[in-house]
Structure 1
Amino acid sequence: MHDIRLIRDNPAAFDTALAKRGVAPIADALVALDERRRALITEAQAAQARRNEASKAIGAAKASKDEATAAALMAEVAALKDRLPAIEAEEKALGEDLNGQLASIPNLPLADVPEGADEDDNALVHARGTQPAFAFAPREHDVFGPALGLDFDTGVALSGARFTLLRGAAARLHRALGQFMLDRLTGQHGYEEVVPPLLVRDEALFGTGQLPKFAEDQFRTTDGRWLIPTAEVSLTNIVRETILAEGELPLRFAALTACFRSEAGAAGRDTRGLIRQHQFEKVEMVSIVTPDQSEAEHERMTGCAEGILDALGLPFRRMKLCTGDMGFTAARTYDLEVWLPGQGRYREISSCSTCTDFQARRMNARYRPEGEKATRFVHTLNGSGLAVGRTLVAVLENYQQEDGSVAIPEALQPYLRGLNRLEPTA
């Protein structure tokens, strides 16, 4: 959410920043709407003050037996009483219009974000790890995965397209991955483990930016709640409508949850395998920080996700997303893309974003600096650490063997009671 006062102070800079995201100039229209709203507030205040003044004068006129003046004042008070509700209603309507428009405008990109239209314009930051060499043609996970427990047919039979049933070895490996990620983030990086609700109200999705613009991408329940598309929603809204002490920050939360996405805009994309599902599990990281901590926290968070990929021995690269590929609430996003030898390309496995104070304004999440009475908005950050299903795909494809088995990364073996290989079933 944007602050109309900042737009009012520098409309040209606001439009220039939005232009990098392909948004047409809008500052002048917003400022004009705000000026009309503020003029009505001034008119209402003046009318109320005059009404109070005239009401007092009526008594004085009656006391002095000036009936003509009293009658004129009473008529004026009646007219003001009739006019005030119309002014207030118009001001309220303009305020709702202004807030609705402000809520639909994406966050402004930070200065170092590359300009571009889509993923082809993203910038490589670095690549790590060695792509495995195979003595055979590596296969995609959906080809050899069914023998390991990726039951695509039953998932579709139960729930329809973009659902998969995991069983046996695949289910064990999936569980091990999620626990490994969560243990690493809480044990080595100081994140507080949270088990959040999977159903949230409108206000929570508005706070993190999914509503109102992206309602079609969400699943809604019959009682009006929403299934979370990511634990970012629940974790970030922990500080909704609160004022924190500066000494409480930073706050760092992590959760392993199921996530639900309708994938309304992804028809025809990744219809095979586990890459794009309606239901999946993900370990999410959320940080709540002061503005001066924000830059370092973005690097720290991204580094935590990279450390998981390093520990699993998975080759990956970090990409800085261009303005045209960033999410609605992000001011800067790093995508981590893991190498999938079956596909012969890198695929996103984590997005780590700094949202500056954009979400905080929508949630009214603030902190009070030491020694100050005034409050400021916190900065929020979120990142995947990691998407469990996609990490399962990466392990299967990078550690696949010619006989259809899959070697288990050493870091995961304690979670599988020492098992070092998944063997295919007949």
Structure 2
Amino acid sequence: MAEDPGSAATERRLSTREAAERLGVKPETVYAYVSRGLLTSHRTTGGRGSTFDPGEVDALARRGRRDQTAFGGDSGEAGAVPAIGTGITLIGEDRYYFRGVDAVELAGRYGCEEVAEWLWTGTMTPGIRFTAPEETLAAARRAADALPRHSGPLDRLRVAAVAAGAADPLRFDLSRPTVLATARSLIPTLVDALAPAGGDPGPRATLARRLWSRLTPTAPDEASLRALETGLVLLIDHDLAASTYAARVAASARAHPYAVVSAGLGALEGPLHGAASALAHRMLAEVLERGSAAAVVADHLRTGRRVPGLGHRLYPGEDPRARALFARLEEMKPAEPAFAAAREVEATAARHASLHANVDLALAVLSVAAGMGPEAGETVFAVARTAGWIAHALEEYAEQPLRMRPTGRYRGPRPPQPLP
């Protein structure tokens, strides 16, 4: 039935099924549009369903009819919008899935190496350990050690990725077996190239245990290692975030895996992406020092800054990654003060806006409690997300090359212009 555009403002909100019918897509696709910021959903009062603004749905439908589906993301559905087809991560309203499996449940049962291997190959291999080749690791460490003393962990990771690639004569072999072998060696190379902070647990220790020894001199207990392991799994992928998109663009141009990871690390460096946890770390440290979340939150609001660690554009409620990591942190005795500070920050900010904790705040609780530096959360993020970038690279290598080539919309002076 044709709609009167002028009546959209007064029309009742649409259910998920009704929105899907207007768009000509499946209900699951509607939630994918929400996860990409193309639609805004609101929960129904007292229920678990969602409602949608009919005007916004109609605008998206019109856009879908104008645009041809790009980048090989055609789902065969009418009204589809430009998207990148991927079978790795689906984000729902209050949870997310790796290859259709609840990511939080995966994090509760398996370690990061096991989940990474499963994500790449479809086979779960319990107890698998990734190890760094000695020659590759030596090259990565030499390059990282040559950095200025004030360099941070992300600087070392970026340099280590480049050096590891330069040391690998097979880096241009993009066959699946070779890329998988590269992935299994690159991630531990990045971890082991970080400057040691505590005792070295050895190359056969879990990736989480080795990363812990690079982030803090504090010896971990089992609860602490479980928290870090959980965080690593939860952060492996989160659909097409900026760094993942950058990695896929590089893979589309058939860059080798080391360059793909370098592209992801470059985008991750932005303050609006991976560095957010450092802001949350500093905020929690200040709350603990001053003894009050109210004063710290007030300072942020007074200066026009957002309160770090709160809110996520993809989740109307609490970030499921934060919820799962907080559950692990509750088992970690040294985390009690930082955990209480984080909950106080959340409660204080809730007086002004309905914002919930995101994963950056949970990472900050872990890093503050374990005596790690402010950049620890970003480092955990980068190590974990490397596995996701490799998964996306494997997917992209199977597509037509150079498909990530959008057409620019020229806004400059109309030619011909005089020669300057």
TM-score (norm 1): 0.25
Larger Cα-atom Rg? 1
Q: Which has the higher contact order (CA 8 A, sep 6+)?
A: 1
TM-score (norm 2): 0.26
More helix by share: 2
More strand by share: 1
